[in-house]
């Protein structure tokens, strides 16, 4: 998550935007190539119903879930038992949850996919559909929601760059390579399935990386904003302690009331 990575991402975004903005026929040609793959049942974009490809796509989607689940559990345990140390460093919890919520969550799936009306390749008239093709920069397409720009699956796969950025330094290049391989493979799958154009999957990766880069800089790098693990831990404790104290008081009150009832019963007998 250094300046070199940021420059590379911005260059990729600029090249992708200019090439497919000025020469849309290129990505239409790519889409047409996969559209012409037809199975025995007459399905165009037949890779989308090819079982091994479907299994691989589903497996890729579960990677992010497998990574974020322990993080959410660690945060939940801290809220339930605020006096206990976090099972995962505090900054890592904030970084991973924030990047997942802002990237694949808010920016990609809420803001763009539901408000940028670009139709998917399989739905446009050039591929036998009923909706018209628009270039990536045009939000006025026919798609009402869950549209082509940009890919949520690809964004989720590229989100694995966030946990990769937190791996120990000797293993970090391997983690980055694995995350990039996962994101790139998912991008190819979605283009082959007729679900997205090339520009959609490239921008999905770029936007996700930029959010991760910015969050990493804010939380870990920039002196004026960076957090500390102890500071995050104390903040969570301050939020959780009132509820924890209330529950403890309620438990003690019930226990005391139960004890008094037992004493009353003893006196009666």
| Domain parsing of the chain, residue ranges | 3-259
Q: Where are the alpha helices (DSSP H) in the chain?
A: 3-22, 25-35, 51-80, 90-100, 152-158, 161-165, 172-192, 198-216, 229-268
Q: Round to whole Å and give the CA distance between 142 and 161.
A: 33
Q: How confident is the model at residue 259 (pLDDT cuts 50, 70, 90)?
A: low
Q: Which two tokens stand for residue 93?
A: 């919890």
Q: How confident is the model at residue 41 (pLDDT cuts 50, 70, 90)?
A: confident
| Cα–Cα separations (whole angstroms), residue 174 to 14, 178, 181, 205, 208 | 27, 6, 10, 18, 19
- DSSP 8-state assignment for residue 133: -
- DSSP 8-state assignment for residue 136: T
Tell me the per-residue pLDDT of 50-108, one tens digit each, with 9 for 90 and over: 999 999 999 999 999 999 999 999 999 999 999 899 999 999 999 999 999 999 999 99
pTM over 0.95: no
Q: Round to whole Å and give the CA distance between 81 and 112.
A: 38
| Cα–Cα separations (whole angstroms), residue 238 to 124, 251, 266 | 53, 20, 43
Tell me the per-residue pLDDT of 108-124, one tens digit each, with 9 for 90 and over: 999 999 999 999 999 99
Q: Which two tokens stand for residue 167?
A: 């791996």
Confidence at residue 78, expressed as pLDDT on a 0 to 100 scale = 93
Average pLDDT value for the chain: 92
To 10 degrees, what angle do helices 25-35 and 198-216 make? 110
Q: How confident is the model at residue 268 (pLDDT cuts 50, 70, 90)?
A: very low
Q: Is the CB of residue 95 less than 8 Å from the CB of residue 212?
A: no
Q: Which two tokens stand for residue 53?
A: 């490809």
- DSSP 8-state assignment for residue 131: B
To 10 degrees, what angle do helices 229-268 and 51-80 make? 70
Confidence at residue 258, expressed as pLDDT on a 0 to 100 scale = 59
Q: Which two tokens stand for residue 78?
A: 């801290």
| Cα–Cα separations (whole angstroms), residue 30 to 121, 188, 191 | 10, 11, 8
At a CB cut-off of 8 Å and minimum separation 6, what does 91 contact? 219, 220, 227, 228, 229, 232
């Amino acid at each position: 998550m250094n300046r070199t990575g940021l420059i590379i991402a911005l260059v990729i975004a600029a090249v992708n935007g200019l090439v497919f903005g000025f020469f849309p026929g290129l990505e239409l040609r790519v889409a047409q190539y996969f559209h012409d793959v037809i199975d025995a049942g007459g399905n165009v974009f037949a890779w989308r119903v090819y079982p091994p490809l479907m299994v691989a796509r589903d497996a890729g989607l579960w990677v992010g879930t497998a990574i974020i689940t322990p993080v959410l559990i660690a945060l939940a345990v801290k809220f339930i038992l605020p006096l206990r140390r976090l099972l995962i460093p505090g900054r890592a919890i904030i970084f991973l949850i924030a990047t997942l919520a802002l990237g694949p969550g808010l920016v990609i799936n809420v803001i763009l996919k539901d408000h940028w009306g670009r139709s998917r390749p399989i739905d446009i008239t050039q591929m036998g559909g009923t909706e018209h093709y628009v270039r990536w920069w045009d939000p006025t397409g026919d798609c009402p929601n869950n549209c082509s720009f940009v890919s949520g699956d690809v964004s989720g796969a590229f989100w694995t760059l966030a946990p990769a950025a937190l791996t120990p330094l000797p293993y970090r290049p391997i983690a980055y390579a694995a995350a990039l391989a996962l994101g790139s493979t998912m991008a190819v799958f979605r283009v082959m399935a007729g679900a997205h154009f090339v520009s959609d999957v490239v921008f999905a990766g770029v936007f996700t990386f930029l959010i991760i880069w910015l969050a990493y800089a804010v939380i870990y790098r920039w002196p004026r904003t960076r957090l500390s693990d102890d500071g995050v831990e104390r903040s969570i404790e301050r939020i959780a302690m009132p509820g924890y104290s209330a529950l403890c008081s309620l438990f003690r009150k019930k226990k005391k009331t139960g004890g008094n009832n037992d004493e009353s019963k003893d006196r009666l007998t």
